[in-house]
Each structure stands twice: as C-alpha cells, then as structure tokens.
Chains A and B, each alone.
Chain A
Amino acid sequence: MQTRDTILHQVRLAVTEGNRLQPAPPLPERGRIGYQGAADAVERFCSELTAAGGHPFVTPDRDAAVQRIRDIMQRHQARKIALGCGGVIEDLDVANRLRGDGVDMTPMDALAAPRFREAMFAADIGISNVAYLIAETGSVVMATAPNEPRSLSLLPPVHIALAHVEQILPDLFDLFDLYSPVADLAKPAAPPPSCLTLITGPSKTGDIELKLVTGVHGPGELHVILIGSQ
C-alpha cells in the first residue's frame, strides 16, 4: 500500500509540475477521423483477409459450407476435430453431418477440464463460431465464454471460423464502441469478455532473415466460411 501511495503521490506532483507549463488538454473527441467503414463490407472483408494470408469463402448455401469444411479436413487428412457448439455450428448441424466421415469429433460442451486440455493440444483442426468480423482489417473476433474457449482458435494447426455475413462490422471503431460503457445510454454496453481476440490471418513470424513463416505458434491456416451473399 505504501509503495502505491508513494508512486501516486509522485505522479500527482509530476502532473502538477507538467500542468504548470501548459494547461492539461481535455480528452479529445475523435469525430469521424480515421473511420474506414464502407458499404461493400463483405467484399472488403474478403480482400483484407486474403491480403493477410487467410482464406475467405462466402456462400448462401449451407451444403456448400459443410462441403468446404469436408474439403479442408480431407486435404489435411485430419483425424481429430475440436468442434465449438451453438451458433452457426449448430445451425449447419456440423457435428451430425460430418460424423460419418471417420473423424474423431469432440464437441466442446462434452469435455471436462483435463480431457479438454488434452483434446485441444491433440486436435488437427479447430472449428469455431465467431463473435464478429471486421471488414476494415479482415479480422475475425473471438469472444471467450463458456463453450467458446480460447484454445479452439489457437492450439490446432488449422482454424476454421464459421459466421453469417450479418456479423461483419465495417470498422474497428464499431467493435470497440460495442464494449464502451457509455457507447449508448439507451442500450448499455456489454462488459468485455474475459478474453477478446482479433485474429487477422494465420500466425506469422519474420524473425529469421525477414522470411515470412506461417504457423509458428498459432494456426498456420485460417479459413473463414461466411454464410450469406456477397
């Protein structure tokens, strides 16, 4: 407690010192500066994600979406799939429709703590829902919650994210407004989840001679399957 008060006291003195030279500027309002949202959200999302090294796939057809998952699984000869629950995954009935494919499918809600961890470390592919997508940056936004674990989009070497096009937000500012306590008095903001992650492409490193290598820690492949039309 004593250190805390000493530090804050020193900061207070320093701030007074600083303010004596010039009045402290008020917290500025941004207005529209730097806003990059536009009407072509789906197109923008896909081109930004592609530029970041991810693979977007937009289809209005649910069968085509499931087939896309199957294709990715086959290409990687995946045996163990970690599967999220609820949301688009449930809408598409992914668990039942892929069950016949000879893979070990582990839905998140069926696992207790120690088995959960081992399943996550062992999985070849993680299939998740997303909270939002950002058109400006081509990012998918993961919000941690029960049955929406952090590991699902992190530990398996391939990540498939499923979403509806309606979940796309035009700009980063739109996302953080949703979590701002005073964003809209009529519609109180949700408290931020314990972990909110924006994923923009596959895991990357350039630490050796600036040569880009993907998949050094996180997934080396990111697929985003969007249900809806362009």
Chain B
Amino acid sequence: MNYAQHEHHDFLGASNQALADPPLQAALTRLTDTLMAGNRKGYAALADSSALRDHAKRIKEHTLAHLDRYLEQLEASVQKLGGRVHWAATADDARRIIVTIAQQAGCQNAVKSKSMTSEEIHLNGALEKAGVRVTETDFGEFIIQLAGERPSHLVAPAVHHTRESVARVLSQHLGQPLPDDPKSLALAGRRVLREEFRRADLGISGVNFAVAETGSIVLITNEGNGRLTTTCPRVHVALMGIEKVIPRMRDLPVFLKLLARGATGQTLSVYTTMITGPKRPGEQDGPDEFHLVILDNGRSRVLATPFRESLQCIRCGACLNACPVYRRIGGHAYGGVYSGPIGSILTPLYDSVTLNPHLPHASSLCGACQAACPVKINIPHMLIGLRALQHQHGQGGHGGRHRGRWESWAYRLWSVVLRRPWLYRLALRGARLALRRWDQDGWLTRLPGPGASWTALRDFPAPAALSFRQRWKKDLE
C-alpha cells in the first residue's frame, strides 16, 4: 500500500468530468471564494502577519534541520508522562501497531476525529478487518464514510455534497426520512454520533502539532469531535507524521495564530485542545491509556531531497482554495489523499514521480498558493523541480504522451526562428494567415494536427491583427 494514491487514475478524464458537473462547480466556487476571502481578511487583521509567517517558516526549517533531536525529545517527554510511543516506518507498520493496541486493550468500538494521516495509511479498513467498528466523527467525514467516498478538501471533506445528497445518505443510515435543511441534518448527525461516543472504547486522532519539550499534542477542530474523541473512550491513540513536531511550547501560538486565519479566516478555530499524557490521578474523565504513533512512511526520504520544504506544510488547505486549478476541478480529480497544489507535490513524491505524470503540470505556476500559505511554502518552485525530475526520467510535458519527435522539432524550429527577427516577422505573418480560419473572438479553441493536444485542454490566444512592434511604430507616426 502506498502513501498517497488510491488509484493511478485518469487525471484528465476526472478533470473534465468535474468541469461538466454544475453542482460541483457551484460548491467549489462558494467554498473557495468564502475561504479565500477569510484568508485575506485573516492575515490583514493580524499584526505583522507577514513577519510572523516568516517566523513560523524559520521554526519549521530549524525543526526539520534537527528533526532527529526533537523526535527523541518528544519521545522522552511523552514517556515521562506515562504515555507510550510507537514508531512506524511504513503505513503497514502503523496499521499493525494501531490494530495491536486495540486488540490488547480489548477495544471494539473506535471513534475517529478527522486525520489526513489516517487516510494516508488507510486505517479504517485494517481496523474493521480486525473486528473493530470505526466511526468517523467529523460531520463531513461521517457523511463521506457513509457514502463510501474519500475527502475532497483538507478542511471541508464533504464539499462535493449538496444538502439533498447529505439528506439521502443520512436518511438511509438512520432508516427514516430527514428534511434537507442543514440544521436538522447536522443535529441528526449529533444524535447518532453522541451515541457512538457514549459506547466507544477507543479514540483515534491525528496531531496538528506535537511539542517536543512537554510531550503535548495539539488537536484543532470547530465541531468539538476532537475533544469528544479524547475525552470519552478509555484508550486514545494519536497518529502523527514525523514532521508534526515543534520544539517548544512558546512556538505553538505562532502556528495557532496562523493556522485558522489561513484556513478559514477565523482568529482561532473553536476548539484548540492540548493533550499532555493520559488522565491523571483524581481526574474524572479522559483516557487511561495514551499512545503516540510516529509515522515516517517516506518522509525521511523526502527530508534528504531539495523537496524537504514540503514537510513544512501544516495542512490548512489555503493553497487549495487559492489555486485556479483546484477551484475548477476539486479534490477528487487529483486522485490522491492530498489534493490541490500541495497534493500535486506530495502524491508524486511519496507515490511515484513517473506514475503521476499530470500532477506537477496541474498548475499555471501563478504563485497564488505560496501567497496564501501560512508558512510561505514555495510550491511553484517545487512543481518545476518535479517537472525537471520527470524530464530526467524521460518524460516530457503532460505525461510524456506528446513529448517526442514533434515536440523536440517544434522547440528546435522555435529557437531557429527566434534568433532571426526577419524570420520571426515572417512566421508571425504566416501564422496569422494560417490560423485565421480557427479564430473565434480572439481565441483558438480547436486546432488540427499536433495543435489539437494543446487545444483539447485549453484555448490558445489567436495572433493579434497587428504585432506589438507594428502598433508601436504606427502609434509613433
């Protein structure tokens, strides 16, 4: 089982399907417009936001450069509190470890708060196979679990659903028809999930941040399911990638100030919960056992490459909302667990550069992702780096399908023409004449021959009637 890819699917086909789906288009526009407005407003309202984002980035850089030291410190801090630390090199290790914890503690009903890392290791199937019932408790995750789907956005996993489809899914689960207004549906969800919390004996969560010096893990939710997951069951398992550690308690608020603002524009998400070890003597609630599973699953390999900056990601989803490609095709088209610009980096890196040929090209390199990122990850730079890697593997643009004799000849011809102004002028005039018959209001939407593969995916601007030099000359006269 691999890191990030469910199936090596047809990216172009899935994108076209998404573009032809009006309800999805409406939902994506609504979501990304709202969240991006929040992102901009959030940063604008925060004192020194740009400098604070630089500071957050430096903390991540420092931590990654000393990652071995901080992981050892985190382990020691958790153990000192009576927590248990487990190390998982692969997704397979992590699944086995968590199943074993459940079996040894005799757990039968697990509740989960939203965790992308658990999606990455395909945990639910492994637990179900071992006879442990698993219920996703984030409301959006619960809907897609019932629908048998996977998340299509980092923080809004069910964005591709409408109120009607949610009502259908929930009504079927409850065996009674529900009205399709969001309030009744959410409160029906609350009733069902409250019973799951009451009976659960195992709580599984992700980790937003882990503080090395105190052994604390931090969970952030808006619904409160993260708190319930770590309050009601007697066993708590937290799963984290090795990159989630931060050095000190005082570094935490730097990220807290940025995460929610970047994700939704909130000053802080509704619930920020910091767990430090299991329940202590005399306390009335909380888990008796606390387990921290630290997962590598390819991260240390990426740490050794120039792509290590991708390990700074705090999974806020801002780059998805900002991306003109994600905004049109949505999360499922990317095919991996992680979607959007950051997914276009993570999926090729952790799964396969060559088997995911389209992802590094699913970007216009406009830089909106980097501008929205709370830690200013240079996503465009890494996408170009991945394209270069593909080239080294003998793949050209767009999956290596069109690169070959045509494309190399075209580039060779291009360079010959560009070096000779008279030839360039002539070529331009020739192109204008030749392309006139396909010109539709200044755009070429359908070209024959090798040009067809370009216009299959995007329009090409038709050559202007007058070149820039011609207009310049004319206006001077």
Q: How many A-B residue pairs have CB under 8 A?
A: 274
Beyond A3-B87, A154-B224, is A25–B284 a contact (Cβ under 8 Å)?
Answer: no
Residues 170-202 of A contacting B (Cβ, < 8 Å): 171-173, 175-177, 179-181, 183, 191-202
Nearest B-chain residue to A27, judged by Cβ: B62
Residues 94-126 of A contacting B (Cβ, < 8 Å): 108, 111, 113, 116-117, 120-121
Residues 166-214 of B contacting A (Cβ, < 8 Å): 166, 182-183, 185-187, 189-190, 193-194, 198, 213-214
Q: Is the beta-carbon distance between B163 and A209 smaller than 8 angstroms?
A: yes
Residues 7-30 of A contacting B (Cβ, < 8 Å): 7-8, 10-15, 17-19, 21, 24-28, 30
Q: Is the beta-carbon distance between B223 and A205 smaller than 8 angstroms?
A: yes
Beyond A18-B304, A173-B250, A217-B190, is A199–B271 a contact (Cβ under 8 Å)?
Answer: yes
Q: Does B225 contact A (CB under 8 A)?
A: yes
Q: Which residues of chain B have C-beta atoms less than 8 A from A7's C-beta? A: 71, 87, 89, 242, 294, 296, 300
Q: How many residues of A contact B (CB 8 A)?
A: 84
Q: Is the beta-carbon distance between A216 and B304 smaller than 8 angstroms?
A: no
Q: Is the beta-carbon distance between B276 and A191 smaller than 8 angstroms?
A: yes
Nearest A-chain residue to B185, judged by Cβ: A208
Q: Is the beta-carbon distance between A196 and B247 smaller than 8 angstroms?
A: no
User: Which of A36, A137, A138, A204 interacts with B222 by CB under 8 Å?
Assistant: A204
Beyond A36-B47, A218-B270, is A210–B31 a contact (Cβ under 8 Å)?
Answer: yes
Q: Is the beta-carbon distance between A195 and B276 smaller than 8 angstroms?
A: yes
Q: Which residues of chain A have C-beta atoms less than 8 A from B301's C-beta? A: 10, 14
User: Which of A117, A144, A176, A204 interacts with B270 by CB under 8 Å?
Assistant: A204
Q: Does B230 contact A (CB under 8 A)?
A: yes
Q: Is the beta-carbon distance between B139 and A151 smaller than 8 angstroms?
A: no
Q: Is the beta-carbon distance between B270 and A175 smaller than 8 angstroms?
A: no
Q: Is the beta-carbon distance between B67 and A206 smaller than 8 angstroms?
A: no
Q: Does B158 contact A (CB under 8 A)?
A: yes
Q: Name which of B52-60, B314-322, B329-337 contacts chain A.
A: B52-60
Q: Is the beta-carbon distance between B72 and A194 smaller than 8 angstroms?
A: no
Beyond A34-B49, A34-B257, A194-B280, is A218–B223 a contact (Cβ under 8 Å)?
Answer: yes
Give A95 to B105 CA distance when docked, in angstroms: 39
Q: Is the beta-carbon distance between B71 and A3 smaller than 8 angstroms?
A: no
Interface string of B297-310 (1 = CB under 8 A from A): 00011011010100
Give A175 to B257 CA distance when docked, in angstroms: 13
Please classify how large the interface on chain B is, using the bins under 10, 10 to 19, 20 to 34, 35 or more: 35 or more
Q: Does A72 contact B (CB under 8 A)?
A: no
Q: Does A91 contact B (CB under 8 A)?
A: no
Q: Which residues of chain A have C-beta atoms less than 8 A from B300's C-beta? A: 7, 10-11, 13-14
Q: Which residues of chain B have C-beta atoms less than 8 A from A120's C-beta? A: 285
Q: Does B286 contact A (CB under 8 A)?
A: yes
Give A217 to B375 CA distance when docked, in angstroms: 30
Q: Is the beta-carbon distance between B46 and A194 smaller than 8 angstroms?
A: no
Q: Does B349 contact A (CB under 8 A)?
A: no
Q: Is the beta-carbon distance between A27 and B59 smaller than 8 angstroms?
A: yes
Q: Does B435 contact A (CB under 8 A)?
A: no
Give A51 to B272 CA distance when docked, in angstroms: 17
User: Which of B48, B162, B253 interacts with A175 by CB under 8 Å?
Assistant: B253
With most chain B CB atoms within 10 A of its CB, the pick from A19, A26, A113, A197 is: A197
Q: Does B14 contact A (CB under 8 A)?
A: no
Q: Does B432 contact A (CB under 8 A)?
A: no
Q: Is the beta-carbon distance between A183 and B250 smaller than 8 angstroms?
A: yes
Q: Is the beta-carbon distance between A203 and B224 smaller than 8 angstroms?
A: yes
Q: Is the beta-carbon distance between B268 and A207 smaller than 8 angstroms?
A: no
Q: Does B88 contact A (CB under 8 A)?
A: yes
Nearest A-chain residue to B170, judged by Cβ: A208
With A7-B296, A151-B285, A183-B250 given, name 19 new contacts (CB 8 A): A10-B300, A11-B71, A12-B68, A15-B68, A17-B303, A25-B58, A27-B248, A111-B284, A113-B284, A144-B286, A176-B252, A179-B249, A194-B275, A203-B223, A204-B222, A205-B222, A209-B163, A216-B139, A218-B271
Q: Which residues of A contact B (CB under 8 A)?
A: 3-4, 6-8, 10-15, 17-19, 21, 24-28, 30, 33-36, 48, 51-52, 108, 111, 113, 116-117, 120-121, 136-139, 144-147, 149-151, 154, 171-173, 175-177, 179-181, 183, 191-211, 213, 215-219
User: Which 7 interchain pairs have the tightest Cβ spacing?
Assistant: A218-B224, A24-B65, A146-B282, A207-B140, A14-B304, A14-B303, A34-B52
